[in-house]
Structure 1
Amino acid sequence: MATIKDVAKRAGVSVATVSRVINNSSRVTPETREAVTKAQDELNYHPNISSKIALRQDSDIIGMMIADHSDPYFGQMVKVVDQLATKEGMSLIVNAGYRDADRERQCIDELIQKRCRIIIAHSMNLRDDILIRYMANQKSMILINRNLRGFPDRCVYLDDEGGAYLAVKHLIQNGHTKIAYIRSSHQVDDAEQRFRGYVRALEEAGITFNPALVVSEEPTPQGGEQGAETLLGLSQHFTAIACYNDMQAAGAMAILSDNDIRIPENVSIIGFDNTAISRYLHPRLTTIMNPVSAMAISAFSIGLAIVKGEDASVHSRVFTPTLIKRFSVRDLRSF
C-alpha cells in the first residue's frame, strides 16, 4: 500500500508539500498540486487509508458534496438530508464542487478526512476511474444523480434522457415542430443525457434535427438569457424552446418578455427539474418533475443501512421523471 512518502517521491516534492496539497493549503502552486494529484492517482493513494485518522472510530457526521450552494435544486437536496440526519442524531457538513473536477476532489478528500460516516456526493465532473477508487475505499459513499459502473447498489439517479424526451414529446404533441434547445455548457452526464432525449424525441416524430436551433449555456438564469438572445439573433424560425433546467427557462422567459414575445402565444417554453421558481413565473412553467427530495431520502437511507449493517436493497435507486403541465406551452393544433 502506497504511503505519503511514496507520493512525495513520485511527485518530486517533500512530504510536507504533499501534506499541504492534501489539506488544500493555499501555499501550493497549481503545477505542484497537479504533480501531487497525479502521483496520488498513479499510486492509488488515499489519505484516509494511509493515515491514523482511518483507524479512529467513525464520527456521527454526514458529509455532502453538491455542485452549487446558490442553486435551489441543491438547497432542496441539502434540506432533506439535514432533516434526516437530525432525526438520527447526526450532524451535516456540506461542501460545493462548483462543477469543477479539482474542487470536487478536494471536497471529497475533506469529507473523508473529517471521518464522515456517510458521504453523499453529487459529482458530475470527476472521471469514472477516480470515483471508482473513492467508492471502493469508502463503503458508505453514495452517488446521487450519477450511475457509476460497478456500483449499482450505491448510485441514486434520474432517467434524464427519458425526462428530456418526455418534455420535447409534449411540445410535439402540441403541434410544435420547430423546437429550439438550450443545453448545459457543462460536459457532464445529465447534460448529455438530456440532449440525447431532445434528439430522440425529434427523430421518433420524423422531425429533422437542426443543430442551428441548439445553443449551449451555463445552467443558470443568466445562461438562459444568453441562450434566448442567441436564438433570437438567428435567422431560424422556432415556436418552442426546451431548456436544460428551470433556471435557464426563467432567464429565457425574461428575455422573450423584454422583446415583446408573449409566452405561450408566440413561443412556448418548457423547463426541467420542477424547482420552486417554476411555480412563480408568469406564466407558470410547464416542466419535468425531478424528484430530488425522494432521491435525497433514498441516498441517505442507503448510506444509513450500510453503516448499520442492514439491507439497503429495499430503497429505490432509479427514479422516473414525470411531466408537470402548467401554462407555458401553447397547443398549435387548434389554430
Structure 2
Amino acid sequence: MITIKEVAELANVSQSTVSRALNGHESVKEKNRIKVFEAIETLGYQPNAFAQALASNRSHSIGMLVGTFDGPYFGPLMHHVERIVRQKNYHLIITSGHEQHEEEQESIRFLNAKKIDGLVLTSDMLSDAEILQIVEKTPATMLMNRYIPEISDQCICMDNEWGGYIATEYLIKNGHRRIGCITGQLSKIDSRERLQGYRNALAKYEIEYDQNLVIEGRFDHDGNDTAIRRLMDRDDEITAIFCLNDSIALSAYGVCHDRGLTVGEDISIVGFDNHAYSPFMTPSLSTINFPLEEMACEAAKGVLNILNGKPLNNVTKRLFPALMERGSVKDIS
C-alpha cells in the first residue's frame, strides 16, 4: 500500500506539504502542488478519507438541503453547487426536506451526523430562529433565496419583488388592465414577494387591485389546471395572466388551448424563472429570468470562503431578475 511518505519522497517535498495539497490549502505553492499530484498519479496513491478527516478535523464534505428533488428549479442549483465545491476537492451531500418542517429538521440532523464542514441551505419551512441555530452549529453556511438580517452576509437573495413588478409592468405597457395572477404556494416567501411586485406595479399605474383576479396555485403542476380554470371563469374580461413560475404558465397554455384561446393573440401570458423549456413552448414564453446558476455559484463560493477564513466581500449577495420578451404577449394598446 502506497503511503504519504512515499508520495513526499517522490515529489521531493515534505509530508506536511503533501497533506496540505490533498486538503486544498492555498498556502501550497503551485509548483509543489503539481509535483505532489504527479507523484500521486505515478504511484497510484489513494488517501484514506477517514484518516484525512481525523488529521484535519474536516470531512471535506458540504451538505445541501433542498425543498424537493422534483422540477426544474433545484436540479440546476444542485448541479452548480456540486460543480464549484468539487473544484476545491469537496464532496456534496444532498438531502431533501420534501417541503415539510419535520423532514427539513430531520435532514439537518442527518447532515450533522455526517460531520459536514459547511452547508448550502434552502428552506421555506424552518423558522429564522431555527436557521440561526443551524448557523451557530455550522458557521460555514450560506442561505439561498431568503434573507435573515442577523446573517445578512450569508444570504444570497434574488429580488423576487422586482421580478413580479417588471413582469406586470410589461403587461401594463402592452395595454393590459385586467391582469390575472396565479401564485405559487403562499407559504413560500418567493411566491409572496412576486405577488407583492404584481401589486406594486398595479399601484404605480393606478390600476385598482382586485382580489378576484388572484388565485393560489402551486409551483409544481399539482392542481394548477383547476386553479387556472377557476380564475378564467371568474372574469371573462381578463386579457393577460401573470404566472408566478413557468410550470404554472405551462398549465395555463393547456387550459387556454382547451378553451380555444390562442396564447399571444387571444390572451397574453408571462411566466417566471425562465426554465429551459420556456423558449420552446408555442408561442415561446415571455418570462422573468431567475439567475439560478449565479445563485448556486455564489452560495458555494461563500461556503468555501468561510471554510478558508476569507471574507465574504467578493460574494454577490443580491441578484436581479431580467425580463425575457418572447411571443406570448400581445400589444393591445
* Cα offsets for 1:252-274 (capped at 9, x unmatched): 11111121111011110011111
The sequence identity of aligned pairs, in percent, is 29
**Counterpart Cα distance in 1 of 2:186 and 2:69:** 17
Aligned to 1:331: 331
Aligned to 2:276: 276
* Contact 2:117–2:138, Cα closer than 8 Å, also in 1: no
Aligned to 2:100: 100
Secondary structure of 1:296's counterpart equals helix
* Cα offsets for 1:216-241 (capped at 9, x unmatched): 01112334322211112224420000
Secondary structure of 1:273's counterpart equals coil
Secondary structure of 1:95's counterpart equals strand
Amino acid of the structure 1 residue aligned with 2:176:
H
* Contact 1:224–1:250, Cα closer than 8 Å, also in 2: no
Runs of 4+ in 1 over 3 A off after TM superposition: 53-56
**Counterpart Cα distance in 2 of 1:235 and 1:219:** 23
* Contact 1:221–1:252, Cα closer than 8 Å, also in 2: no
**Counterpart Cα distance in 2 of 1:132 and 1:308:** 21
Segments of 5+ residues of structure 2 without an aligned counterpart are: 1-52
Amino acid of the structure 2 residue aligned with 1:220:
D
* Contact 1:272–1:287, Cα closer than 8 Å, also in 2: yes
* Contact 1:221–1:249, Cα closer than 8 Å, also in 2: no
**Counterpart Cα distance in 2 of 1:325 and 1:95:** 35
Amino acid of the structure 2 residue aligned with 1:84:
I
Segments of 5+ residues of structure 1 without an aligned counterpart are: 1-52
Aligned to 1:38: none
Amino acid of the structure 2 residue aligned with 1:296:
A
Aligned to 1:30: none
Aligned to 2:298: 298
**Counterpart Cα distance in 1 of 2:74 and 2:255:** 25
Aligned to 2:75: 75
Q: Cα–Cα, structure 1 residues 281 and 224, in superposed 2: closer, same or farther, change >3 Å?
A: farther
* Cα offsets for 1:184-223 (capped at 9, x unmatched): 1241211111110011100110001110011001112334
Aligned to 2:253: 253
* Cα offsets for 1:57-86 (capped at 9, x unmatched): 221112111111111111011111111122
Amino acid of the structure 2 residue aligned with 1:118:
G
Secondary structure of 2:273's counterpart equals coil
Deviates further, 299-308 or 53-62: 53-62
Q: Cα–Cα, structure 1 residues 223 and 201, in superposed 2: closer, same or farther, change >3 Å?
A: farther
RMSD between aligned residues:
1.7
Aligned to 1:58: 58
Mapped pair 1:229 → 2:264: no
**Which protein is bigger by CA-based radius of gyration?**
2
Shift of 1:55: 12
* Cα offsets for 1:168-188 (capped at 9, x unmatched): 000001000000000112412
Q: Cα–Cα, structure 1 residues 285 and 223, in superposed 2: closer, same or farther, change >3 Å?
A: farther
- Normalising by structure 1, we get a TM-score of 0.81
